[in-house]
Structures are given as structure tokens and as C-alpha cells.
Structure 1
Amino acid sequence: MDQREVAAVLAYIGRLDPRTIRTGTAEVRDQVAQWQELLDDVPFATDHGWDVREAIRAHVLDSPYPILPVDVARKWRAYRRDRLDRHTDPTPAADPDDPAAWRTELLGTRHAVATGMAAPSPHRQLTGSPHRDIDARLAAVGSSIPPAVRAALAPYRPARAAREAAVATGQPDALSVPCRWCHADKGEPCRSRRLGLDGHARGNAPRTRPHPTRVDLAAAELARQDAA
């Protein structure tokens, strides 16, 4: 802020908190010089959320003490940190083989965001709608995983492959119900549990095929749904 803007800020503060008003010409000159020295890099207002009057008003409402220029400077620094924390550097348009131009554009973007001249770029969020041909692609392959890829993955996830094969042949999906034998939850494969001499379970290896009682329970649940 320049001296004219600092004088406007001090007039606004005096209207909200008369304790800060200076009456002598020398006192006013010194006050303006002090505030301008500490707020030289603080803008009066930006297009993206910063207004020094809002910061002053918040201080007057929250604190019983007269506002100081360092209070405004600290609020401005907190504003800058918050904007940079919410910013993800977009890929510069400069030639990546020109490190100087790349760095200059990157730092220029960060400076614009920090000073309120540009909005943060929240690329960490998933924004926008899916690609317009995604529905057509899913309709063509019938699944988000193409059949060829599913077949290639089958040896590495045998329980899932057995489940998909059972559903494809019209059999009930055993993993759609919990297992009463090994107490596996829905969607979880059955476990091979052996009882030791002390009556406690020994071993907990996943099974490729579900327990027969679980298959029967899934068939009964499927029949009940069809009857309903």
C-alpha cells in the first residue's frame, strides 16, 4: 500500500476504534510513515478474497486491543500461506528444455496466487466430468476391465476368478452372503481353518472355493429373491 491507501486505512480504523486517532500533524505523519513501512507489500484489496478492511473489522470485533500494523501484516501472511497451501503448480507452457523459462513461469504463477492476482489451481481434486465416450467404451467391453485383461489377472486372484465364473454359468454368488462355517464376511473369501487339539483354530489361509454351506446359503438367498 502507498501512503494514500495507508491514510485511508487509518481513517477507516479511526471510525471503528477512536482510540487510534491522532490529532497532531506530526503524530499523524509519523503514524502514516510507520504503517506504510510495515504494510508496503500488503495490498489494499485483491480480486480473490483479500480486503484489508475485512481484516481490520475482524480484529476490532475479536480483540479488545487497538489494532497495530503488525496485526494486519500477519493476517496478510496467513492469507498468502493459505492460498499457496491450496495451490498445485500447473504445468508451465514454457519449453521444458529451457529451465530458466520454465522456472520463471512457475515462480510467476506462484507469485500471482500468493498476492491474490490469480486463484489457486486445485488440481489435487477430481474435477470435470468423465470423458464423453466413456459410456460407449464401457458398453463395448461390458466392464471397466476388458475381458483380455480380466483373463490375464485370473491366476493372480483365483477367488475372484472363481466367483466370476460361477456367476457367468448361472450359479449363485457365494460371496454375496457371509460364511457360517469360517465366519468370512460378505465379499471376503472363505478361510481354511483347522482346529487344534486345544480347540483353537489353526491356519487362516484363503480358499479358492467357498465352503459348501456358504454356496447353499447363497442359493437359498437367490431363490428367495426370485420368489419375491
Structure 2
Amino acid sequence: MSVSNEPNSQAVSAPVIGLTTYLEQAQTGVWDVKAAFLPKVYFDAVNRAGGIAVLLPPQPVDAVVAGRILDGLDGLIITGGKDVDPARYGQEAHPATDEPRKDRDAWEDALLTAAIERELPFLGICRGAQMLNVALGGTLHQHLPEVVGSTRYSAGGGVFNDNDVQVDEHSRVAGLIGGVVTAKSYHHQSIDRVAEGLVVSARSHDGTIQAVELPSVPFGVAVQWHPEQDYDDIRLFEGLVVAARTYRGSHRPDGVA
């Protein structure tokens, strides 16, 4: 059987999307080691949306390293995970706040800063929305049940609660998913004071911020829920991939879009 050397046109034009990962103690077989990992649903959504997924584990970083990484990407996703270190927004840790993952915080802050500077399309998911807000100078509610009076967003035990979200009809998010969405929620923190430059584009009925966007870049969107958990709705990922393909066409030497 012969193998064709002809390039696959879809693969050639597919944008490369980087996804940040966890770095935690993990077990597999006889091994119990610190490891980088990310649930498959994240990069499966990127693949189904037409992108090529590349995983980005936390590691030592500065502006030069972040720039080198983004040189090879057409889009970026800041994924969910442990709580952002409250010291980053000038607060003491709440008893319910996770132990800080300072390496991941620094990693994602540097990647977001570089992405914004070069207008690389990005999508923040859950922690990713919080990280974006903190990186730009905003703050977080450290334990949302104390604010809204229930655990509707944080059932625990790996159970994602459904919560209705109202989207601003004039927002980029509405252009992607419409005016109302049933969100898959798994978070006990949320955005409090919104960073300068960010615009709130969705809330739930109790006022909890559910999406923000950065109008100063072509595509800078972050949602508090977990769109990767809804197999039948990949519109946010498709929006990122479309923006990343446009970015690739205008920034890559081959000019392929």
C-alpha cells in the first residue's frame, strides 16, 4: 500500500491551538509522580472544531519564553483547574481556597500577557476567566456560596451543575452562542471587581459574572462555565478556531488561512 506525499489541505490550514495543563501528583500503573495532564474533552473539542491541539504544561517562564511558545501557536486556551493565588490580587486566602499553584499562575499570566500584546486569539475557561481578570488587575470572590447563598455552581464530586446564563445581545459571546445558554458549572470562585479593559458579556440570574471579553483584541473571550463538557455544542471552540485561522493567514510566512 502506497502512502501519498500530497499535503492534506485541511491539515495544512488547521490552526494550532495551545492549551494550558495541570501539573499535579498523578498515578498511572506503578507510577505515582508529578505529571502534566488535561482531560481529553478539552482537546477533543478543539479537534472537532477544526484545530490542532498542543498541550502547554507549567514550566519556568519569562517574556522571552512566552513569546517563543506563542510563535508556534495560532490560538490559546487557558483551561480550568485549581484556584488562582489570592496574593496575586492582594488578598489573604479564604479557608476554602486551594493551595496556590504559583508555577501555573506565573505560566498562564505570561502567556496571556504575550497573547494580548500580539493579539493572538484566546479563550479562557473557568479558572481561565479568573486568571484573565486577575492578570489584568481585577479581583475574585474567593468562595461564591457565601455570596449567592447556595452551592448551585459547585456541587462537588465531579458533578457539573446546569445553570442558565443570560448573554448580552451586543457581545461577541452572543454572536457565537446566542442570548441564553445552559452552562455546565463547576466553580466555587468567580470574578468580583472587573479588570480595566474587560467587558462583562454574560451573567446568571443572581448577578454572578459568567463571561467577559477584551474588546481591544480581535478575539479575547473567557467564560466561567465549562463548554468542553457539552459534547453537542462546540461553538465557542469553533469561534476560536475561526479567529485563529484568520490570525494564521495574516501572521504566518506561508500565509495559509
User: What TM bracket, shorter-length normalisation?
Assistant: under 0.3
Bigger share in strand: 2
**TM-score if structure 2 supplies the norm length?**
0.18
- Identify the structure with bigger relative contact order (alpha carbons < 8 Å, sequence gap 6+): 2
Name which one, 1 or 2, has greater alpha-carbon Rg.
Answer: 1
